[in-house]
Amino acid sequence: MRRGPFVRPAAPPPHTPRGPPVPPERETVPMSDSTAPSSRSGPRTLLLRGGEVHSPADPFATAMVVEGDSIAWIGSEGAADSFADGVDETVHLDGALVTPAFTDAHVHTTATGLALTGLDLSGAATLAEALAAIRAHAEARPDDRILLGTGWDAGAWPEQRYPGRAELDEATGGRPLYLTRVDVHSALVTTALLDLVPGIAAREGYAPDGPLTGDAHHAVREVAYAALTPRQRAEAQRAALAHAASLGIGALHECAGPDISSEEDLLALFALAAEEPGPRVFGYWAELVTSAKEAARVHELGALGAAGDLFADGSLGSHTAHLCAPYADAPHTTGSANLDAEAVAAHVATCTEAGLQAGFHAIGDAAVQTVTDGTRAAAERVGLARVRAARHRVEHAEMLTARTVSDFAELALTASVQPAFDAAWGGEDGMYARRLGAGRAAGLNPYADLLRAGVPLALGSDSPVTPLGPWETIRAAAFHRTPRHRISVRGAFTAHTRGGWRAIGQDGAGVLAPGAPADYALWHTGALVVQSPDTRVANWSTDPRSGTPGLPDLTPGTQVPVCLRTVIGGRTVYARPDE
């Protein structure tokens, strides 16, 4: 029986240190929606207690009160007793960890859903397995106008070659097929799909019997995705959002654009996210703007900026990332320069004046330099303070130099990065080393250098290029294949929670603190630690007396935490089924 309404205390009792949490034996957290009307006046209130609450407001917190769609209080178990009779519901966490929900700062939602529900060759170990999977998919989808697939990587197959067009024609029974490489910067297609694109052979990037890149790739992609029905698109988007919620992801940055998807796709995603409970969706539209009218069109779409995958170059795997020196395994090319510094400057200046974020996809060292040179030129036109305040961003930013790291810091560019790229392709024998040679490859993805320089990081997956998986992403940053680029688990965790919100100009979210949005996740995990793979870290930071909140042990080989529940704005959007 309640004794009275919930009231925030003037000063909660002091906290006391605790030992490690006891993992729950079963899922005991009831379904709750704190945004639902309360039996008394005011928003519904919820007390979570008996767990581990990861909060800078109180490093020893075990309890949290949610009032409506925001966090009202965080503190100790003793203080929680004073709230128990004044809330609408109490959740007994049984030692579960509570963290802010993750933000994935770079996602392609429809493509992710299609990979989840359709043809994904990332698990194919050989060319023969890939062809068998294509054949089975074609037989299972007799009504699809165009077959869609992704995830192939010929470099990972013992045959060391991709399937030829004749093999694909045979596997699909002569039907149209669009099949993207794992990096989504080139694609294999069948003859039937080429027949649907007039003048394709004259486009830049066309190959008579190999992967299409550049304009040729964009042309076939447009035709392929145009064949999706509204029902197919909605099913794919719904599957991607549900999967993200099941992983404790509470917000996605959708990177859309005319060379990637369509306005229709982006607007449909916004509508779905608004109508159905799930992760928050923030969109970017990757199109150059050089006038106030063009900038207004981006605003009308509901996008935060003309940013995301606005391609300054391509990818290393497809030999289209723009390099200062030729590829080690393709000495005839330095990749593709899709923009020059003047185009970058015009875009950044226009976006800055229109109140839009500008941003670019830039991977190679030459492309990254082009972006920073152009952004500096824009700052000379409209003012450095205005450019810094706009929080423009660069996606991927894999090949950085000391100069470009310094440029990022001076221009306040956010580095939207994907640590799983290093996990997948780094190391002495990885794709990076094959493309660049071991020396250049060892310089890629220098997260420690970026953090030391004060560059804001926002972590993401680029799904479906690499899978959604926030704890795996944090592990990849903390245990980078090149030790000098490693950052602490805590630093990576912050970049994957608060960093994504800061990247869109919202500094008060992505953290569990009074007044912050009630976007959080509950986790089944083991003992919490303060973990840094760098042994030079001062001993005080790993001592419990330092008051540094702990996080799960992410040492390679250990199991990542299991998501029990994801809550967005006080509303449960995912609850793990009882085992």
Distance, CA of 103 to CA of 497 (rounded, Å): 5
Residues near 437 by beta carbon (within 8 Å), at least 6 away in sequence: 328
pLDDT (0 to 100) of residue 32: 58
pLDDT (0 to 100) of residue 15: 33
pLDDT tens digits for range 334-374: 999 999 999 999 999 999 999 999 999 999 999 999 999 99
pLDDT (0 to 100) of residue 540: 35
The H or E element spanning position 152 is strand 147-152
User: Tokens in use for 100?
Assistant: 């802010």
pLDDT tens digits for range 44-102: 999 999 999 999 889 899 999 999 999 999 999 989 998 888 999 999 999 999 999 99
pLDDT tens digits for range 7-39: 443 333 333 333 333 333 333 344 456 766 665
Q: Could you count the other beta carbons within 10 Å of the beta carbon of residue 19?
A: 7
pLDDT (0 to 100) of residue 254: 98
Q: Could you count the other beta carbons within 10 Å of the beta carbon of residue 340?
A: 12
Q: Which is nearest to 33 in space by CA: 22, 21, 46, 20?
A: 46
Asked if the model's pLDDT at residue 169 lies above 90, the reply is: yes
The answer to whether the CB of 495 falls within 8 A of the CB of 458 is yes
Distance, CA of 318 to CA of 183 (rounded, Å): 8
**Between residues 193 and 15, which one has the greater pLDDT?**
193
| Average pLDDT rounded to a whole number, residues 143-157 | 90
pLDDT (0 to 100) of residue 116: 92
578 pLDDT band, cuts 50/70/90, is confident
pTM: 0.88
pLDDT (0 to 100) of residue 155: 87
Give the least confident one: 2-11, 328-337, 373-382, 507-516.
2-11
Asked if the model's pLDDT at residue 431 lies above 90, the reply is: yes
Distance, CA of 85 to CA of 70 (rounded, Å): 20
| Average pLDDT rounded to a whole number, residues 383-399 | 98
Rounded to 10°, the helix 263-275/109-117 angle is: 80
Distance, CA of 525 to CA of 560 (rounded, Å): 8
- End-to-end C-alpha distance for the chain, whole angstroms: 31
Q: How far is CA 516 from CA 147, 364, 449, in A?
A: 44, 38, 30
**Which amino acid is residue 307, in one-letter code?**
A
542 pLDDT band, cuts 50/70/90, is very low
533 pLDDT band, cuts 50/70/90, is low
Asked if the model's pLDDT at residue 228 lies above 70, the reply is: yes
Q: Which is nearest to 469 in space by CA: 511, 418, 527?
A: 418
How much of the chain exceeds pLDDT 90, in percent? 78
Distance, CA of 414 to CA of 412 (rounded, Å): 6
Q: How far is CA 125 from CA 154, 157, 160, 167, in A?
A: 10, 6, 11, 17
Q: Which is nearest to 91 in space by CA: 579, 567, 577?
A: 567
Per-residue DSSP letters for 106-140? Answer: EE-HHHHHHHHHSEEGGG--SHHHHHHHHHHHHHH
161 pLDDT band, cuts 50/70/90, is very high
| Average pLDDT rounded to a whole number, residues 179-187 | 87
Q: How far is CA 91 from CA 9, 56, 566, in A?
A: 20, 22, 14
